[in-house]
Structure 1
């Protein structure tokens, strides 16, 4: 007996087979491999993020919300104040503000995108519990190399009782030529470079996003910011301030910069903020005048219905039947 020969398939069956094969996914799908592109060109992947200049591009409601928030914050901002002072005089000056001038702030930012700042020694001696109100908000910026120091600080029993870490924000420079590139410190032979900046956003007191819309506007900004061309003319990109302004409705804001930044990256004043720095351009802070400004604008931004309608909110929980 001879084995039966396979019958030749008809043209229709061959056509079905070809069509079925065409539906199979490719074994090696095409991808945008910017990691491999960096190996060949030395151009970092963040250069190719399309919406780094405008993070809400393509979202008309969020764009409108950002414009309304910016105008609302500017309308209720104090005169821009600068306090030019040496780093070793910062703590005594702050103590004087607290005890003699009875000053208190709702939003305090510490640090900038400069790697030579003395954040840890300053924070351990700062009268932070009397400087910030309850509820209040603290933003601490540091390079990736200083994460361990800041984590150790926030895990300290004294700090853990005062502040609760709520969010972590990240800022990424576009390349090594950026004025915000932190460098490798003492580890010049590292295979992976830690070039990002981190911000710990901490809360003192109790704030609930579902019920305290008069104090905070959550979920307005993204947690990740990539350097844009407009952020290179100052030691502190404007978006760092906008994150705090968009999050908290408080108008009493203080920024402490414990570092020398020099003339190439100037520290500019900003409406609604008191900026303490050795190199701040303007030195005009007066506690009496500042308190008069606060009395005029109020300690918090007034509610605006259009902003409340547009801003993201926590979902309303249904009451049990």
Structure 2
């Protein structure tokens, strides 16, 4: 009996030696502990994301899909349009587009990557649901603080009946030296800094991933985007335009920037978009010419078999017998 007890004890000790003590700290420091690395070097973790320059690196089919979609969108894009309007005149101008010019857009983007935006007053004074066709898509970009302020708007019953929040996108500047860095919050002594930008993507009307491939292409881009080194300084990176272009097949796109960005943060033109801003580089929008161009191009991109074969698709649900 005594010898049996000794053998069991020895076996337990040997087993502990093999397993190691779970309470004992590891002798080797984890090489991917970027949080600890940030404390000592001030280099944020996003600096070490390997595929931030090319998110589809290592995926040849997705790379081919991106190239095909970029060419397809460019081939069926209107010329770049700019509408230079002061912030306090935006609501009246857009109302005139709605009632007098009968303009509608399938894709409307509001906001940019600057802090001094008047998004909430614009959304509450504008019948945005009449500016966007059904089905249509609304992208609202803002800092973490601005997005939190808009939470009560999305939770409002009147707004919820017209739009439903579908996705949340995030854009992260590479470091504090980035032109897209939002700066500190009101509390300069805060332990954590909110350096990311958020986007709410809302849908009006009915659209289904599995059956409406002629309207939307889902799962092409990721929800998280990190600034790449080759981005131009602008009010909004070109990649954020491409997210909307890759998602919706519509050709009528409007971007509203309710903020003064100045010359240091230029509002650059983009083919296929009407950009409304107090500081947009070009002021050439004409509703008659724009609608004539849309009539020639069509309101949606024509289907292309190569893109359909490569793009990710949602499975269709089988109905019972």
| Same fold per superposition (TM over 0.5) | yes
**2:305 aligned with 1:315, yes or no?**
no
Aligned to 2:93: 93
Question: Distance in 2 between the 1:231 and 1:260 partners?
Answer: 21
**2:226 aligned with 1:226, yes or no?**
yes
1:22 positional shift:
10
Query: Where do residues 122-133 of structure 1 align in structure 2 (5 Å cutoff)?
Result: 122-133=122-133
Question: Distance in 1 between the 2:124 and 2:73 partners?
Answer: 32
Aligned to 1:179: 179
1:23 positional shift:
11
Question: Distance in 2 between the 1:35 and 1:293 partners?
Answer: 51
1:31 positional shift:
3.7
Larger Rg: 1
Aligned to 2:300: 300
Does the 8 Å CA contact 1:179/1:232 hold for their aligned counterparts?
A: no
Question: Distance in 2 between the 1:281 and 1:107 partners?
Answer: 21
1:190 positional shift:
0.9
**2:64 aligned with 1:70, yes or no?**
no
**2:283 aligned with 1:283, yes or no?**
yes
Deviations 1:206-262 (A, max 9, x none): 000011001000000000000112223211100110010000000000000000111
Question: Distance in 2 between the 1:269 and 1:117 partners?
Answer: 19
Farther off after superposition, 159-168 or 173-182: 173-182
Aligned structure 1 segments of 4 or more residues deviating by more than 3 angstroms: 20-27
Does the 8 Å CA contact 1:183/1:195 hold for their aligned counterparts?
A: yes
Matched position secondary structure for 1:230: coil
Matched position secondary structure for 1:283: coil
1:316 positional shift:
2.8
Question: Distance in 1 between the 2:82 and 2:40 partners?
Answer: 46
1:319 positional shift:
3.6
Aligned to 1:11: none
Does the 8 Å CA contact 1:80/1:269 hold for their aligned counterparts?
A: yes
Does the 8 Å CA contact 2:211/2:316 hold for their aligned counterparts?
A: no
Query: Where do residues 213-292 of structure 1 align in structure 2 (5 Å cutoff)?
Result: 213-292=213-292
Could you state the TM-score of these two structures normalised by the residue count of structure 2? 0.91
Aligned to 1:202: 202
Aligned to 1:109: 109
Aligned to 1:80: 80
Farther off after superposition, 252-261 or 118-127: 118-127
Question: Distance in 1 between the 2:165 and 2:45 partners?
Answer: 30
Question: Distance in 2 between the 1:100 and 1:22 partners?
Answer: 77
1:151 positional shift:
1.0
1:147 positional shift:
2.4
Does the 8 Å CA contact 2:135/2:203 hold for their aligned counterparts?
A: yes
Aligned to 1:134: 134
Question: Distance in 2 between the 1:139 and 1:151 partners?
Answer: 14
Identify unmatched segments of 5+ residues in structure 2: 8-13
Farther off after superposition, 180-189 or 301-310: 180-189
1:320 positional shift:
2.7
Aligned to 1:192: 192
Question: Distance in 2 between the 1:52 and 1:267 partners?
Answer: 24
Does the 8 Å CA contact 2:98/2:131 hold for their aligned counterparts?
A: yes
Aligned to 2:58: 58
Question: Distance in 2 between the 1:22 and 1:230 partners?
Answer: 49
